[in-house]
A = this chain, B = another copy of it.
Amino acid sequence: MAVSSPDLKAFLVSTPFFGGLSDASLDLFISMLVERRFDTGARVVSEGEPGRSMYIVRAGQLGVSKRGKSGREIRMAVLGPGDFFGEMTLIEMQNRSATVIAESPIALYELTAQNLYAYYKADIHAYVMVMLNMNRELCRRLRRADSRIAEMADDSPE
């Protein structure tokens, strides 16, 4: 289903992914976004599978997990409105690094690698803004992950 809604721009510009974009730049993105809805328990992406889309959460809650060597599911993060995920497969052309499951009824906006490339061709300055936004969010996640590693190592015996 294609997306159009009067308060959509206000929502998008408040997200880490689209922050800083002009109204005109947002219009082009909005024309590309496709809304996806899932029920509680739906598996949106699966660790190890290929993927060519990323998602921005419009509503609901999702859980991110990775499978440990023992087979146990390790909870990595919780996502809510405004968060985005799945961008790593677009940047790296690698398989999904984690599984993401709907923990409530959810609404997502999907954006494909082709959409991002079309955006690069159409409006390079807005594309740079989005790359910087993505970069910043990756840095934030990496800081959090590194702090968690340092804490876990600090708690373990030498």
Contact = CB atoms under 8 A, between A and B. Distances in A.
Contact of A150 (B76, B91, B140, B150): B76
Label chain A's interface by main secondary structure. helix
A120 B131 contact: no
Contacts of A88: 139, 142-143
Interface string A69-109: 11010101000000000001001101001100000000000
Interface in A93-146: 94, 97-98, 120, 124-125, 127-128, 131-132, 134-136, 138-143, 145-146
Copies in the complex: 2
A136 B88 CA distance: 8
A92 B140 contact: yes
Given A141-B142, A142-B145, A145-B149, 17 more contacts: A66-B147, A68-B150, A69-B154, A72-B154, A74-B153, A88-B142, A88-B143, A91-B135, A91-B139, A92-B136, A97-B142, A97-B146, A135-B135, A135-B138, A138-B138, A148-B149, A152-B152
30 contacts: A67-B150, A68-B150, A68-B154, A74-B149, A74-B150, A76-B146, A76-B150, A91-B132, A91-B135, A91-B136, A92-B139, A92-B140, A94-B143, A97-B143, A97-B146, A98-B146, A120-B128, A124-B125, A124-B128, A128-B128, A128-B131, A131-B131, A131-B135, A134-B135, A135-B135, A138-B139, A138-B142, A145-B146, A148-B149, A152-B153
